[in-house]
Amino acid sequence: MRRNALVILGLVVGITLMLWSGVMAYRERRAALMQAPQSVALVPEAGSADTVDAASSDPNSPQAQGLPDMRGKLAPGFSLKTPDGKTVALSDYKGKAVLINFWATWCAPCKLEMPWLIDLQKQYAAQGFTVLGVSEDDPPFEQVGTFAQKMGVNYPVVVANDAVNRAYGNVDGLPTSYYIGRDGKIVAETAGLISKDDIEANIKKILATKG
Amino acid sequence: MQSNVQRKRSGCVGVLFAVFCVAGAGILQAQQSSWQMHDTGLGLHEDEGANKGWVQLESSRQIHVQARRAQTVELQFVIQDGLHINAHQPHSPYLIPTTLTLSAPAGVHVLGVEYPQAKDYRFDFSPKDALSVYTGSLRIAVRLRAQPGAFSLPASLRYQACDNHMCNPPKIFTFTLHGVAQ
């Protein structure tokens, strides 16, 4: 009888110790995460296209934002709806240089770069270039169309879905852009607002690629 | 015979111990998985256990108020350094306003929520366009009246944070205030 009582006592102490150590470990992990820096660093606003390209070792690079380095890989294909319900596929632009620009109506830096993208679309469209805006807005999507119209957007705008976000590395911060060469490969990627000059330099690079 | 019974009992205790171990490990694993799911950043919601947010509640979650009288409870939030969130009434209808929502239980009546004065913020790239934002510390005053007794007041703060180059997706920070009205 006494032996059973000792066994039960041992059992209770053992379970208590096990749970206590588990909870302590859980708390430590939470505390460690609390102290970890949040991913808010950005691509430098000044600098050449080479700076953007060499970003992999930069703490402010898209990779530091948690985006995978997709340069040199084929751009994941997608087929998305425009705010008014038409379907646009990336494959529609085969052989063209494409700037995929993830943005949202609530994103002020995205709104800032929009007039630059409009200018660059005008300037380089004849050479086989297009911007493709991918909106990260929530429904209703009519507001995306209204916003784009109000801004004078002259390039196609589609609405993102989970699949395209996953395919492009779980796009989180906006704006995020991928520059795709005529061969369908990603040449450059940027996270955050960069200067118009840097955007243009990346566009020239993708225009120089061969299909 | 007695020895056999004792052996059986010890065996049962051993099996029980193993079951407890497995169950305990399972519970801890489930707790961690749940936390990690919140941390993926895929969802819009975060909570007190998520730690991914850019705004944290700094003031106490414990509140004491005088019963049956209109009281003001100030909630102090901290916005991560270098970030701003939109004012409750931003300049553009497209921007996502910071909004505190409270789900008052029976016996508690939320009379109003007051937001502080926002600051104008201008981008280096476009100095003429001003945004109305909160930065640093954010105090939101909640006016409420409660019947005597303890109560829980679930709350959520919806906000959207940016710095001067990039915007993070909108988030909903949920938390619960634990009150006593005397």
Contact between residue B173 and residue B157 where contact means Cβ atoms under 8 Å apart:
yes
Asked whether residue B138 carries a pLDDT value surpassing 50, the answer given is: yes
Mean pLDDT of chain B: 81
Asked whether residue A142 carries a pLDDT value surpassing 80, the answer given is: yes
The CA-based diameter of chain B, rounded to the nearest angstrom, is: 94
User: Contact A112/B126, CB-based, under 8 Å?
Assistant: yes
Q: How far is it, in rounded angstroms, from Cα A133 to Cα A169? A: 17
Cα-flanking dihedrals φ and ψ of residue A144, to 5°? -65, -45
Q: How much is the pTM? A: 0.72
Q: How far is it, in rounded angstroms, from Cα A111 to Cα A144? A: 12
Asked whether residue B62 carries a pLDDT value surpassing 90, the answer given is: yes
Burial of A21 (0-12, 13-18, 19+ CB in 10 A): exposed
Indicate the residue type of A18: M
Indicate the residue type of B84: H
More confident residue, B13 or A184: A184
Lowest mean pLDDT among A59-63, B2-6, B159-163: B2-6
Q: Kindly state the DSSP code that residue A169 receives in the 8-state scheme.
A: T
User: Could you give the ipTM of this predicted complex?
Assistant: 0.71
More confident residue, A3 or A49: A3
Q: What does each C-alpha distance from B76 to A13, A193, B60, B73, B141 come to in angstroms?
A: 42, 31, 9, 10, 9
Lowest mean pLDDT among A18-27, A151-160, A168-177: A18-27
Structure tokens at A56: 């992999």
More confident residue, A42 or A150: A150
Residues in B touching A172 (Cβ below 8 Å): 41, 168-169
* DSSP state letters, B12-29: HHHHHHHHHHHHHHHHHH
Asked whether residue B4 carries a pLDDT value surpassing 70, the answer given is: no
Interchain CB contact of B16 with A (< 8 Å): yes
Lowest mean pLDDT among A179-183, B28-32, B85-89, B134-138: B28-32
Q: How far is A198 from chain B (nearest CA, A)?
A: 14
Asked whether residue A14 carries a pLDDT value surpassing 50, the answer given is: yes
- CA nearest A16 in B: which residue? B24
**Axis crossing angle, helix B2-39 with helix A2-35, rounded to the nearest 10:** 10
3-state SS assignment for residue B55: strand
Best CA proximity match to A207, nearest among A142, A147, A126: A126
Tell me which residue in A14, A42, A136 faces B165 most closely, judged by beta carbons.
A42
Interchain CB contact of B137 with A (< 8 Å): no
More confident residue, B94 or B24: B94
Q: What does each C-alpha distance from B116 to B76, B112, B134, B138 come to in angstroms?
A: 11, 13, 8, 7
Residues, chain B, total? 182
Interchain CB contact of A110 with B (< 8 Å): yes
Interchain CB contact of B131 with A (< 8 Å): yes
> What is the pLDDT at residue A37?
32
